[in-house]
Amino acid sequence: MTTFYPGPSKVYPQVSDYLQDAFRTGVLSWNHRSPECMAMMQQTIQIFKQKLYIPEDYQVFFVSSATEVWEIIAQSLVKEKSVHFYNGAFGKKWLEYTQKLIPESAGISFDVEETIQSVIQNQSLADADLIAITHNETSNGTKVDFQRSDFPPHCLLAVDATSSLGGVVLDWVEADIWFASVQKCLGLPAGLGVMICSPKAMKTAKKIGDRKYYNSLLFIEENFKKNQTHYTPNVLGIYLLGRVMKAVEPIDSIDKVTKKRAKNWYKFFMKEVVEESDLQVLVQNPAVRSDTVITVKGSENDIALLLQKIKNKGFTLGKGYGEWKTNSFRIANFPAITDFEIAQLMGALE
Ligand SMILES: *Cc1c(COP(=O)(O)O)cnc(C)c1O
């Protein structure tokens, strides 16, 4: 089976060897406060920042998942109210989890065809101290292009880049908090999340002073200063991330490949398939179409039939998600997938 599922997704094939190495060299049993482990963690952060061009003064923290970061932000970085812009299931879930901790937090939903700039125009964000954006909405295959200057300067900007980080260039300085889980664009097994914070975010955390939880951001930072973590971490996950980051091209090269492949996928679904069926690219506005998750809509029947046929040919595609559960399918356009596999899937779809 070749998987094009948009998370958990295909892992880099080298992971097989890295797992053997981890077992052989004792990484799996390392104490997380031992010198070896602390050095490995420091090296992983270094290569991660280097390959992704993360600014020197932004800090990288390892946590368990993107979902955990939603909670850390609500606990440690929102003073009174966050405002969440969302157009799909993941953005909405982030809002809902936040509201359980901060009932004042509010959501602004928008249509999948809309740009965020057109949505911001009519909103008053004066009382928001943090803006939440889902950079790549994995449930419907949309992306958000934004700049800091689109929002009031007093707001912190937090960006869920779970299904784009590692696949496309991200303009780090345009936001204060970025995060992802590793089982999407980073091509690794699930069980590790990455949180990246600007100096402004850390300053705000100090001002707010939350220290109530095991994963309060200030407590996390204190541990990372010593190259340690706030709990026994997924040492294997961190090790694998370090090995994969060492092996991959810098993000600007990966970005070019991702965008070229995305263009080909959209062209493919507009020409080849659509002519003979009612299948259609879900997002019509090219400005908001995702580069990393390709979503195609159609009748419930056509979609179910297609997924079954493609499965029989040896491919797993992503089912629809949330509102689009039964009338769409999704294809991961993640870097661990090869040109050969894409050509094979295109052949099968034809
Ligand atoms: C997958 C995903 C998440 C959740 O990731 P977990 O690892 O399950 O916490 C959050 N946001 C987006 C956009 C996602 O694609």
Give the pLDDT confidence score for residue 270 in this predicted structure.
87
Percentage of the chain surpassing pLDDT 90?
A: 95
- DSSP code for 289: B
Q: Ligand 1 pocket: which of 84, 90, 333, 334 to mutate (most atoms <8 Å of CB)?
A: 90
pLDDT single digits (tens) 83-101: 999 999 999 999 999 999 9
Residue 58 has pLDDT above 80, yes or no: yes
Give the pLDDT confidence score for residue 230 in this predicted structure.
93
Distance 147 CA to ligand 1 centre (A): 23
Mean pLDDT of the chain: 96
Q: Ligand 1 pocket: which of 63, 140, 162 to mutate (most atoms <8 Å of CB)?
A: 162
Which is the closest atom of ligand 1 to the Cα of 161? 13
Give the pLDDT confidence score for residue 273 in this predicted structure.
58
Which is the closest atom of ligand 1 to the Cα of 135? 13
Report, as an integer, the average pLDDT of 90-118: 97
CA dihedral 164, 206, 63, 2 (to 10 degrees): 0
Distance 179 CA to ligand 1 centre (A): 10
Strand-pair category, 106-109 with 82-86:
parallel
pLDDT bracket for residue 272 (50, 70, 90): low
Which is the closest atom of ligand 1 to the Cα of 163? 15
Residue 275 has pLDDT above 70, yes or no: no
- What are the helix (H) ranges across the chain? 15-24, 35-52, 66-76, 89-101, 116-120, 199-208, 217-225, 235-247, 251-268, 300-312, 339-349
Distance 285 CA to ligand 1 centre (A): 24
pLDDT bracket for residue 271 (50, 70, 90): confident
pLDDT single digits (tens) 293-303: 999 999 999 99
Residue 286 has pLDDT above 90, yes or no: yes
CA distances from 116 to 33, 73, 135, 146, 169 (A): 44, 21, 10, 7, 19
Please state, in angstroms and rounded to a whole number, the distance separating the CA atoms of residues 239 and 237.
5
Nearest CA to ligand 1 atom 10: 66
Instruction: Identify the residues whose C-beta falls under 6 Å from ligand 1.
Output: 7, 65-67, 90, 134, 138, 160, 162-163, 181, 184
Which residue segments constitute the domains of the chain, with CATH numbers given? 2-8+251-349 (3.90.1150.10), 15-247 (3.40.640.10)
pLDDT single digits (tens) 238-250: 999 999 999 999 9
Asked if residue 322 lies in contact with residue 295, where contact means CB atoms within 8 angstroms, the answer is no
Report, as an integer, the average pLDDT of 68-76: 98
Query: What single letter denotes the amino acid at residue 62?
Result: F
Which is the closest atom of ligand 1 to the Cα of 193? 7
**Closest-CA residue to 1 (of 314, 346, 332):** 314
**Closest-CA residue to 165 (of 316, 282, 48):** 48
